[in-house]
Structure formats: structure tokens, C-alpha cells
Structure 1
Amino acid sequence: MRQAFIQTGKYIPQNNGVSGIKVYKGDVYATMPRYFDGVPASLNKIVTKDGEAVMQPFPDWDNYTIEDCNGLQFMQSMEIDPNTGLMWAIDGGRTALFEPNATRNSCPAKVVGYNLETKKEIINPAIVVVDVKGKRSYRLEDPESMAPRESLPVDIDGTPFDPKLGINGIAMSSDFRYVYFSSINVLKLHQVPTGVLRNQASNDQKIARPDTMAIDQDGYLWVTASNAGRIFLGQPRFFKDHSHLHRGKALPCKEGGRKCS
């Protein structure tokens, strides 16, 4: 592979220089910024092969296609949290910065994270609530609605694109009671009461997963959420009451009323 890359110009040895270096549990990671052409991988793990230390693309070769904005383009530095094994790295998005009249500004800059224990990229979208008066901020996370597993590619002028943006669109109702958000990757719109967002305790809770449900004679919908240990009461489509009623999967309701015992 080395000789093939040299012959095609994908690897030009003198253009590869180490910029950042970090160590985690004995493993050494190094960045090689793409200032010039001929840098096949910009973030590497140093491994031993046939008795020699060589650069192994991290996390894999598929991430280093030039001008593929879903991958990695220009890695100059990174930091590793020794307590969690999380790596955070900056991708400048540009390549061939020092090549005469050849700089590529194809991709936006981004911060990427990797869990070095699982070797997987960290994708953790969230709604960030900023309390201006209280001078604080916190995150509200929910993987099912903010980082859906089912992802649809977006077709832009005939070109498929998989942005993996998590939350993309967000808006608030005119009465300030609800926040609506969506992801460009899925055909769904989600709603959350602003009262939930204003409660920092919601940061430690997950948006409920419905399990069993029933509608009473007054048209109210009762939904059990086993993952949250709660029952929610509301009208179809838009929940009104997020109070904690009872820890249980099903409750008998009195006929003609909305009280459970």
C-alpha cells in the first residue's frame, strides 16, 4: 500500500509532519495536519508492525477521503480525558493550506469526539438551555428524538448527503409554552413544554418512552412510561401534564373520573 500511495501521490513522505501528540493507556496518538497534499491520514495511532513503529489511521481509512465532509480533513490538535478515555479533536475542514493556489475550503470546521474504550465516535446532540438571569446553562438530552438511529440521507440538487446533525431546526410557539425541534435526517417533528426545559432537573431525565396507553370517556390519554417509572396524562398528540403520578405500569381508573388509585 505504501508504494502504491507514493506512486499515486496520495503519500508524499516529506509532507507528513507530526503536530499534536497524546498518550492514553500506553497508546500514542498523533496528528499530521494536511498543510500540503500527500498526507493520507491526519489523525493516527502509532502501532508496531513487523518490528517497526507505523502510523495507523484513526479511527479508520474511511474517514480520510479528501473533501468528504462526513469524514476528517485537517486534524491539528486533540486532547484526551484520562479519566473517561474521551478524545476531543478539532477538524479545521481545510486541506492543502500551503499548496500554491490549491487550498481547499470544502468543509466547515468541527469538533469531533471519540470514546477510546469503544473506538466509536461520540454523537450526543442536546438542547442547551441558557439561563441569562441566573448566568448558567445545562443540557437536555434524549437519544431517541435528538440522535435518532434511523437516518435518512438528504438529496441536495441530486447529490445525497448524510449530515448527521442531530437537532437542526428549532422554534418556540407564540405563547412561549412549547419548543418544537427536528432533525434534518428524519421525517419527524418533536415538541417539549418550556416548563420542562426551565427545570434543570429535566437534565437528568429522559423523554418518556410510551409502553401501554388507554383513552378514557372524556377523551384523555393515559400513557405509561416504564423507562421513567411514570404515568402521563394528556390529550392526544400534545401532553399537558408532566407530573409524577405513580410508579407503576398500569392503574385502575374510576369510571367517569380521571383519578387513579
Structure 2
Amino acid sequence: MPYSTNRYQMVFHWNRLDWSFPDVQLQREFEDNQFWKKAMPAGVKVDRQGRYYVSVPRWAEGIPATMNRIVLKDGRPVLQAFPSWSWNEAGQVKALQSVLGYEIDENNRMWLLDQGKIAYAPSPEGSQKIIVWDLDTDRMLDCIIIPDEIAPYRTSFLNDLVVDNQNGFVYITDSGSGWPDHPVEGGIIIYNMKTRTLRRVLDRHFSTQDFPGFQFSIDNKPVYRDTPLRTGADGLALSADRSTLYYCPVTGRNLYAVDTSILRNFQASSADISRAVRSLGSKRTTTDGMHADNQGNVFYTMLEGKGVGIYSPAIPAFREFVSDDWMLWVDGVAFDQQGSIIFNSNRLHEMFGGYEIDWSNPFNLIIWKAFVGPGVKSYLYAGK
């Protein structure tokens, strides 16, 4: 389906994030220590009721809540801890410690991927997990612990996940960049819902690693001014027919794919899975988040291109969908099931890369919406 649009808009924007705090003391600590300087909105999604959510990973100390719902307070958007403040208690391994990637499936259930680690310290035992939350009944349905042998507590950096309820599997990217100044140890993790077992594959495979010596710039500013960014498997998308898993590193431009039939077979050898990986070529941009639609296309964020692109496997071709100078580090992309994509720009490369930010700029952090076409939804809604 040929997509083209100039119909995009800002939904929410901030100069810096703020919360609807439960008490004055917590708010005072947040303000006095300027913890907001490392409070970065990552993944954004919308539920069946049209409510917006945003994850704020704890890559530094002082993040009040890592999972949040956006609410309006005196007409301005602020964050409200989700599902509650107690569920976001730092240091409590059973609570959410640091969420980057998550999914809201076709059954209105949220799958929260907890990185477990705070400020890049090793993940405490039991902190790496998937929490499944029912948004209709507002209760936890499941908790899947991800142990050290699947995602090493020191090096893991659990990044994103996609959900296949039809076949009963979840796929996760581990960027392997959880230990600064240490070689990347990327991989793909698979969870079998029926047997409740996990498997790590493509561990340190070339497709899940950072490209050797890769460096890139945005607006002619080197990403991470002092030390080049090195991140393995990151962006992740599942095709509408659930047959293909797409993924890519941040520090590299290639898109990779592997058939899910071999990933679902836990008896398949590592060598066979390695041989099944296909390189689909260069997107001509670095990418953070990805998301497939219900019609076979993959939307990917364009970091160098400042926007969102589309990969259409039927052609096959990579092309720009939308771009804007304000789209500085487009992080996550998702669908609202009403024909539009939603995505956010958060200046990650400046916030964590050693650059100064003008904190008075009202457009530092933005959530966008762009109309794609009638009937266009997430891969989760294929056939629905």
C-alpha cells in the first residue's frame, strides 16, 4: 500500500518532564537535584480507551516513576505513575525498576519489559522480568522472571519486545550494552508462553552486535560527543502474519530478518538459526524503534533522517514517510488503531551524550501523530 502524508501534528510537548507527585518531599528531591535533566520519555503507546502511556527508563538516579500514563493537570501534560507509585518503587525488585520497551496487545494487555538495572548497575536477581498487566481490570496477570543465564545481569540491556498471541511467543531484543566501556553482547530472547520457557539466540551474532567502528552524527553533531555510542540489537518488529522477525542495531544501518518458525523451535541449533538470518540491506539511516502494521509494512525511526521511514517487503524498498527538523532522536513508534502512527522525539543523543540543552525550549520532548490511512493498525490487529 503506497503511503504518503503531510498530515502530522504534535500531540504533547515539554521543555522537560514533570510528574503529578504523590507528596511534596518527592517533588522537592526531584527539583532540587535536577533529576529531570535525565528524565527521558522513551516508548509511547495508546490503549483501547485512547489513553497515552510513556516509559521513562532509569538510566540515571532520581527518576520518580519508570512507567507512566500522561494526564492533564491545569491544562498541561504531566506524568502519573502507572499502575501506581508503589509499583514504581526503585530498589524493590518485584516492582518496575527500569522500563524501556513495552507492548499493548490486541486484548488490551500491557507487556512491560523491565530492564532491572538502575543507572547501569548490574540487575539485581529477580528484577529482570516481563509484567503482564490487564488494562481492562487493572490487575497483574503474570510475571515472567528473566534470569542471568538468559540475560546476564551485568551486560544485559533489555530493549524491546513484540508479542505473538496467535502462536504463543514473545520476542525480545537484548542490546547487550548494559556495561559501559565493555564490549557489546547483544542477542535475541524468545519466550514460549505455553511451556513458560526462555531461550537466548543469536548471542553476539554479527546481526545483534554494533557495527565495528560505526559512528554517526545528527545535524553534524557526533552522537555521544566524547565516546561513540555502541548499541546492539534494538529496534524490533513482528510481521502481520507472524512469520518474520525484523530487528536492527542502533549503531549500524542494516535491517535484519529471520523466520519465526525456526525461532519457535527450541530444538533448532544455534548454527541453523545463525544461517537463517537475512540481511535486508541499508535503511540509509540509523534506527531506534520499529513497529509493523497490519498490512505487511515495517515503520522504523530515522535518527539521522529525523523522522519515520517505511520498509515494504513486497517491493522491497526503504523510504521516508515523515520528517521534521524538530524530530530529534525519534525513539519509539506505535499505532493508535485509528489509522495513525504515534511516535516521540526526545533528544537522547544530547541528553546523555554530553551536550548542553536549552531547557527553556518548549519543544525539547515531543509526542507526534501522523495519519497513515484508514484501516491501518498495528501488526497485532492483522485480520481483525
TM-score category of the 2 structures, normalised to the smaller one: 0.3 to 0.5
Bigger Rg, which one? 1
Tell me the TM-score normalized by structure 2: 0.30
| Structure with more contact order per residue of length (Cα contacts < 8 Å, sep ≥ 6) | 2
Q: TM-score, normalised by structure 1?
A: 0.43
